[in-house]
């Protein structure tokens, strides 16, 4: 459940403690489908240490597999 993960971030007392979380509602996704969506969002918003706005430290899916899953580089930030 997302609420459990949100609470873990809140209790961590890190920069993630102060974020407002909003779940993305999807239905009947496989694990890989969920990871593809996550990776597309990472590509869109960018990892913070690369100039983006996200706190993610790593990609959900390694770039070497992006072609396999139809993931493209979309740089918005």
Q: Is 76 part of any domain?
A: no
Which residue range is the domain that position 10 belongs to? Answer: 2-69
Locate 27 and state its tokens. 């239905």
Residues sharing a CB contact under 8 Å with residue 53, sequence separation 6 or more, in sequence order = 45, 46, 77
Q: Is 12 part of any domain?
A: yes
Q: Is 45 part of any domain?
A: yes
pTM score, whole prediction: 0.79
Mean pLDDT of the chain: 89
Q: Is 77 part of any domain?
A: no
- Please tell me the total count of domains within the chain: 1
48/29 Cα distance (integer angstroms): 27
pLDDT at 46: 92
pLDDT digits (tens, 9 = 90+) for 11-38: 999 888 888 888 877 789 999 999 999 9
């Amino acid at each position: 459940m997302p609420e459990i993960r949100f609470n873990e971030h809140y209790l961590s007392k890190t920069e993630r403690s102060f974020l407002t979380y909003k779940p993305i509602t999807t239905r009947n996704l496989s694990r890989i489908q969920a990871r593809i969506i996550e990776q597309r969002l990472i590509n869109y918003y960018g990892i913070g240490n690369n100039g983006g706005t996200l706190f993610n430290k790593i990609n959900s899916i390694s770039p070497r597999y992006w072609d396999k899953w139809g993931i493209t580089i979309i740089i918005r930030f």
